[in-house]
Structure 1
């Protein structure tokens, strides 16, 4: 017997032993009946060769099979095109299994479509794992939202008595007291302010996590705002005997439209951190026009310090919630580790961004980029 005569039998034997399910459908019949199934198909589906041949593959479908997927298969067959789908099928015993189905048309030399060859892979375990992952993600999101709502409610309850305590400390300090009592009250005030800062940050995180935080688009004077922000931090810098100064690009527009409150919150946090982590030297706020047009002005704010710096391997975690570069820093300098996370979230709401450059022992520089609407774009919108 010649080699050519042996090939059809050899190929059929090889296909029959494949670990993948293989089917061949008669493309010349409108019912697209099965002409061939290999051994793996019968093991996968539970249907014998005799029970399968001559039937349309829809006998594998069931009540939970997606009609849209079935429609896509039919459309590919009608157009005589290749297709790849994931479809839920049923075995003879009624057990569900997920099938990755690859269908290819086979044409003769005249261009007539004679067969559709299907190769199926059992992807049930993968689909099960995907469903478990989706379920776990959904539960985690629900748990996270619940925790954030609890934090928000708890911190609202904390802020009221805390504000009362701060008020009483202020009143007590106005009376006739000794220097020692004044010192104690000042320590109490500082501790109260630190706690109030943590509460406010937690409230912001809760709002951000629940999508409740919004940004405004109002008119403000950027140079005036920057001047006010720096002035706010001058006393803290002076108490640590470090220099704080600002350099602003003179081409910054007199008026911009955006959210000055959220911008101030970001810059206040960065300057506060810079002062906190700097023992000697200086803190600088630099503001430059990065891009400007009739519609938009992009400003870059750079906050540079000569402080302790951040180890390179910890920079990637810097914007994660409740994270500080070193636990010893938390004990020494205080703070919840929420501030930078909030900055990043607020900047994303404003379509801005934040990056950091740092060298341990040499200082840190944060770069904040924020777009603002210009006067011309507001007039055009009006």
Structure 2
């Protein structure tokens, strides 16, 4: 007597009319033959009821069906386990379709597994959409990589003549000139430096995008590096008649291991921005040791200013490439909007982080946290 001969007629009718495929397999037979398929199964697969009954479900598999998925199904059935799996099946006419297969074992009161009940859903449209999305993402990635390579090559070509122009401007400034000529030459120098900065930043973005940017772990003196950085920005602050201050934690180790070049690049970007966007008041760099052990020293760098600030609804865009908080700021203060993007990417490579707090019209504070290797960890790995 079949399973469904034992069920009330209304249940067989309901199951036969479901819009999902339902199958029942005889778990007591080694071949695991089909005992029942509903109408939706025959509609989906193209096989009639008579063509399906008594056969193992392997007849739905084809050349592109994943062998590992098939093995996973067989192992679950042998262990009498419930499973949910996506498998590529074939219709009677040879058309492929993706099947979300849900299988549950049915046990009697004695604990003997009598049946496997399967419910199948045709998920071909979803899988096709996923494949299309993956193809589009791969294509976009290739296009993006090609664009970054082009930017890198272009900017390498630009940097050589720019360096030559900057050298000629410097040589011209050594001669006798009128005040007007000096003014023009200074404007040319400032424009050249701004353009060179954009070229260098674009090169860094291209390197980061292609995974070509590396991080070093070399010995450096953090206090000495901070002093050098502050001296670099004193003239710019003096020209704008704003104060530039530095407060360094006395517990900062004399020597750390990390990438001083990339650290300087991050602080350069933050301090130059702070000075650029501050018309009055001060720019302050505060350096604190937040964690210290034989293995690692965590240092926090706070860059505060009393500048124009950032609107709260624009803070989320700060670290996106070619973005400034306001287009009018770009016209007024200059810059490519790449600096903060580079900072975030570099800090990611250094296992660091960056956050920002700002009040429009009152100032901004960037908080950078970076882990550096301590002396003991170097000795242990040497």
Instruction: Tell me which interval the TM-score lies in, with the shorter structure as reference length.
Output: over 0.9
Q: Deviations over 1:102-150 (max 9, x none)?
A: 0000000011000000000110010001001100110111001000000
CA deviations on 1:243-296 (whole Å, 9 max, x unpaired) are 110000000001000000000000000000000111111100000001111100
Shift of 1:168: 0.5
**Any residues of structure 2 matched to 1:46-57 within 5 Å, and which?**
46-57=46-57
Query: What is the TM-score normalised by the length of structure 1?
Result: 0.98
**Inter-partner Cα distance in structure 1 for 2:18 and 2:169:** 82
Alpha-carbon offset, residue 19 of structure 1: 0.9
1:107 aligns with 2:107: yes
SS of the residue corresponding to residue 117 of structure 1 reads strand
How many residues in Structure 1 have an aligned counterpart in Structure 2?
378
CA distance in 2 between counterparts of 1:10 and 1:338 reads 69
CA displacement, residues 311-366 of structure 1 (integer Å, 9 cap, x when unaligned): 11111111011111111111111111110000000001111010101111111100
What's the counterpart of residue 361 of structure 1?
361
Map of 2:203 onto structure 1? 203
Q: Offset of 1:8 from its aligned partner?
A: 2.2
- Counterpart CA distance in 2 for 1:87 and 1:313 is 46
Partner of 2:212: 212
Q: Equivalences for 1:252-331 in 2 at 5 Å?
A: 252-331=252-331
Counterpart of 1:36 in 2: which secondary structure?
strand
Q: Which residue of 2 aligns with 1:21?
A: 21
Q: Partner of 1:185 in structure 2? A: 185
Q: Does 1:172 align with 2:165?
A: no
| Secondary structure class of the residue paired with 2:8 | helix
Q: Secondary structure at the match of 1:142?
A: helix
Deviation at 1:9, TM superposition (A): 1.4
CA distance in 1, matches of 2:130, 2:250: 55
C-alpha separation in 1, matches of 2:351 and 2:226:
20
Residue aligning to 1:31: 31
CA distance in 2: counterparts of 1:289 and 1:300, whole angstroms: 6
Q: Residue 241 of structure 1 aligns to a residue in which SS?
A: coil
| 1:241 counterpart = 2:241 | yes
Q: In the alignment, which residue of structure 2 is the partner of 1:81?
A: 81
Deviation at 1:379, TM superposition (A): 1.6
Deviation at 1:381, TM superposition (A): 1.7
Matched residues in 2 for 1:362 and 1:153: separation? 41
Identify which range, 103-112 or 10-19, moves more after superposition: 10-19
Cα deviation for residue 13 of structure 1 reads 0.8
Structure 1 residue 347 corresponds to structure 2 residue 347: yes
Following superposition, the deviation at residue 6 of structure 1 comes to 9.6
Unaligned runs of 5+ in 1: none
Distance in 2 separating the partners of 1:77 and 1:381: 50
- Determine whether 1:8 maps to 2:8: yes
Give the Cα–Cα distance (whole angstroms) in 2 for the partners of residues 21 and 145 of structure 1: 45
Distance in 2 of aligned mates of 1:106 and 1:368: 59
Q: Which residue of 2 aligns with 1:162?
A: 162
Q: What secondary structure does 2:280 align onto?
A: coil
Counterparts of 2:8 and 2:67, CA distance in 1? 37
Gap runs ≥5 in structure 2? none
Aligned-partner SS, 1:268: helix
Report the Cα distance in structure 2 between the residues aligned to 1:311 and 1:9, rounded to whole angstroms: 69
Q: Which residue of 2 aligns with 1:126?
A: 126
Distance 1:150 1:359, change over 3 A: same
**1:50-77 C-alpha deviation (Å, 9 max, x unpaired):** 1111111111111110000000000001
TM-score with structure 2 length normalisation?
A: 0.98
